[in-house]
Structures are given as C-alpha cells and as structure tokens.
Chain A
C-alpha cells in the first residue's frame, strides 16, 4: 500500500496510448487516402511556414526559434517525467504512533518495535517461509504491513489465525491498536525452499 498516484500512472499510459493510436491511424491514412495526404502536406507546410515567418526567422546556428521553444518544452517535460518516476512507490513511514497526552510529553512508537515483536513470533513458525514487516501511511493514518509467504498447502485461515494471534499479542504490549494489512502469499520460493533437514 504505497502512496503511488495511480491516476497519474493510468493517465500517462492513456495519453501515450492515444498518441500512438493517432500516429498509427495517420500513417495508415497517409498511404491509403490520397486526399488526406494532400491535406497533411498542405497543413504541414503552412505550419512550418508560420513557424519560420516574421520575427520567428531569428535563428541560433541552424536551429530556428521554434526549434529552441520545442527544446525548452522537451526539457520541462523530461523533468516532469523524472519527478513522476521518483514519486512512485512512496509513502513508507518509520513512525507508527505519535501521541501527546498533556501536550508536554509525547509517546512515539517506531517501526522497529512491532517488527521485532512480530518477527520474533512469526519467523519460527514452520507454516511460513518468510515474514516481512513494514509500515506505510494510508490516507493520513500509519498502517502496519505484515507479509508472510506460506508453505504449500497451508490453509489461509490457519495463516490468518497465526498472524492475528501475533498481532493481538503485540497490541497488548504496545497498549494500542495499529491498523494492519496482512498479505498472505505463496509462490516459487515457498515451493522450492527446503522443507526440513534430515541428518
């Protein structure tokens, strides 16, 4: 549950999709419909004419003013895209609880405590291959994320029960309840990791 803006993700995919569609349809139409090709050339020449007319005739080297403008726009767009990529997968937090009782003292619970408590409880269980504990901020609330990988054939209800028991134990120690997501997965590693060792 990271804070990736999924609307932006889908928006970018949609825009690129439409641009490719438009480009593809245009190039098919250019070869299939002569009238479209004529219109394309006429409009293209008008546009390039306008872009090199009047004061736009100023050029730097062999680049016209319009070229420079396109270049500046491209740089801005690239920066926006880099920012977009850097924003993916955020929202992790290390502080789960920060409460002040009377305004002068605050109680803080960092991720390390629940992680140690849950790992200590769950990592020894034979039902699980691995356990991971992390924390994210979801709509302003710090939430715990417990991810376990099950061995083959473990009933989901059993996995849930084991994790729930560990969570309730943790709640008692911490004296508070932190909203929690439990992920139960299986997969390649669970199937091929060694089940037991015989000596």
Chain B
C-alpha cells in the first residue's frame, strides 16, 4: 500500500463516496426524450405536417403568455419545480457518503460495508452479554456504533463490560473513520433471551 499512495487515495475516495451515476443517467435519459420530442415537432413543422401536440410557433407563444394559466396551477407546478430543483442542487453538491468504512492492510485497501461491521459487533456484544445474537441490534454510522441489547428477564447485563469488548474489537480492526461504541441495555428484558 505504501508504494502507491496516490492510487490508494483515489480508490478510497471513490469507494466511500457516491458517483451519483444513477441520478445523472436518469436526468440524461429524460433530457434526451424531451429533446427528441422537440426535434420531432420542428421536423414536422418544417415538412408542413400537422403537429403531434404543439407546433413550435405555439410553444413559443404559450411560454410568452404563461401568465394566462390559472394562478393555482402556475403556483403549484412552480412549487413542485422549485422543490425538485432544490433536491437536485443538494444532490449535486453534497458529498454523498456511502455507508462504508476503510481498513488498510499491508497488502490492500479494504472497504467494508457498515452492515458487515454492525453484524460482527452484534455477535461480539451478544457473546459478552450472554444473550442470543437475535436479541442484540447494531447500527453503524460514520463515527458511531449503537448496540442495543435485550437481556433475558432477571439476568443482569454488565454494560461496561460489553462496551469494553466492543471497543477492544474496534481498536483491533482500525477502521477509518474511527468508530465510537455506545451500548444500550433495554430496561425490560425478555423471557428466554
């Protein structure tokens, strides 16, 4: 890894951020369809044929006299356009982080889905707490791990010990960005957990 830092940096960045390809391709396809329709109308007009929906002349005059459309329709569609536009602008400018963490080894850069980290930590916490893994829930975000444990009724669970076990495992894995564990023991236990 050490002898190709630029390649690995690029891989890490591209693997932990969304390329926004789905959205860009969708928009491009919609635009292509709209343009194809526009060209069709212009060609039909040039050949002196009847328009499919609106002749080019009519389109231009409709846009110029847009204010004659009923106010409610104009404002409603305007509002929808503004909202969609804002969503797109945010999508274009936000980092779009993927739910993944990175681990460097001497041989490769490893990109791990948060889901995998969560399910492994659930197992660690459940073992330490002495409950079935089905009674532990894990959620991993960018900087935090939350583990919820439902204890068996009447059997206390040592929260500090579980937290320590989870933290020890996280330290050993050395994920980037680092994760801080939080363990919650549910107040109400379950029989047979």
Contacts and interface: CB of A to CB of B under 8 A. Distances in A.
Interface residues of A, number: 81
A59 B112 CA distance: 62
B75 A159 contact: no
A2 B103 CA distance: 20
Interface of A: 1-2, 4, 6, 8-14, 16-28, 30-32, 37, 40-41, 44-45, 48, 60-64, 67-68, 70-71, 74-75, 77-78, 81-82, 84-85, 88-89, 138-139, 141, 143, 146, 150, 152-157, 159-160, 163-164, 167-168, 171, 177, 179-187
Interface string B18-41: 011101110111011001101100
Contacts of B108: 146, 163-164, 167, 179-182
A156 B119 CA distance: 10
B193 interface: no
18 contacts: A12-B24, A13-B92, A17-B86, A18-B85, A21-B85, A41-B64, A41-B67, A74-B35, A81-B32, A82-B32, A85-B25, A156-B110, A156-B112, A159-B112, A164-B106, A168-B107, A181-B15, A183-B110
Given A62-B55, A141-B7, A180-B107, A17 B112 contact: no
B173 A70 contact: no
Interface in B91-144: 91-93, 103, 105-113, 115-117, 119-120, 122-124, 133
B47 interface: yes
A154 B116 contact: yes
Given A67-B42, A164-B108, A153 B75 contact: no
